[in-house]
Amino acid sequence: MTPEEFYQALQKQNIELTSQQQEQFDTYFKLLVEWNQKINLTAITAEPEVYLKHFYDSLVPAFYLAQLKKGSLSLCDVGAGAGFPSLPLKILFPSLKVTIVDSLNKRIKFLAELVGELGLTDVTLTHARAEDFGAKKSPARESFDIVTARAVANLPVLSELCLPLTKVGGKFIALKAQKAQEELTQAQYAIQTLGGQLQEDIETTLPQTDEKRHIIVIDKKKATPKKYPRKAGTPAKLPLTK
């Protein structure tokens, strides 16, 4: 997907990029490739693949969830790595208030330079484990309208990392590729235990390919019990399953 094809694909979703936004995506691509030579951010570095599998892929939730386009919602991106999906969404919708949590300080340094180069405001970068960031005494706990995660962990684990950060009435959005249905089945106990309820599993495909994508939307219906999330590392070792 060339940049021009990227713009056209967004037009089909009734999203028209300004020249400034186009320049921001171009700067994002160039900085990603530059930093990737120093630290491992992504295996995908060819321009057409970055535009399709990182930029376009990150924006897919906005095609289905109208609330992303409205007002100054607070969005927390857990394990964002090189900034996906939150920073492409922030470029598209500048009024989003974005917080990124990542456990690797090298990635936070990249993101800090990126945010500065892109001229983005209302972006907070936090070097922390998600389990600590959402712990019972953390001010971030249950404070975000939307919590996102992409390519971080399987859904039972992700639910324990993300739902404690999601405010009651908010949404946890997991961007998944294959095996989403299998993960959803495994995650039912965790979702329910942590105060969530599945709203929908949106299945789609990336343009120019047959690659499947799932946007799993979980509503936060009630407060997460205070004992979750468990201490750092535990959710991955002992996922919440029956």
Structure tokens at 122: 């209302």
Mean pLDDT for 148-158 is: 89
The DSSP secondary structure of 11-52, one letter per residue, reads: HTTT----HHHHHHHHHHHHHHHHHHTTS---S--SHHHIII
- What is the pLDDT at residue 151? 75
Q: What is the model's pTM?
A: 0.94
**In sequence order, what E strands does 50-165 have?**
74-78, 97-102, 123-127, 144-150
Domain count, the chain: 1
Query: Residues 164-213: pLDDT tens digits?
Result: 999 999 999 999 987 788 889 999 999 999 999 999 999 999 998 889 99
pLDDT of residue 70: 76
Sequence ranges of the binding site: 79, 84, 130-131, 150
DSSP lists the bridge partners of residue 77 as: 100, 148
pLDDT confidence band for 214 (50 / 70 / 90): very high
> Does residue 148 lie in a domain region?
yes
**40 in a structural domain:** no
Please, how many CA atoms are within 13 Å of residue 62, restricted to the half-sphere of its CB?
Answer: 25
Instruction: Decide if 93 contacts 69 (C-beta within 8 A).
Output: yes
The answer on pLDDT for 53 being more than 80 is yes
Residue 223 in domain: yes
d(CA 168, CA 82): 28
Name the CA dihedral angle for 77, 189, 236, 161, rounded to a multiple of 10 degrees.
Answer: 20
Query: Residue 146 belongs to what domain range?
Result: 70-237
Is residue 10 included in any domain, yes or no? no
Model confidence at 71: pLDDT above 80: no
d(CA 221, CA 179): 25
Residue stretches of the annotated binding site for S-adenosyl-L-methionine:
79, 84, 130-131, 150
Residue 78 belongs to some domain of the structure? yes
pLDDT tens-place string over residues 86-116: 999 999 999 999 999 999 999 999 999 999 9
CATH number, domain with residue 169: 3.40.50.150
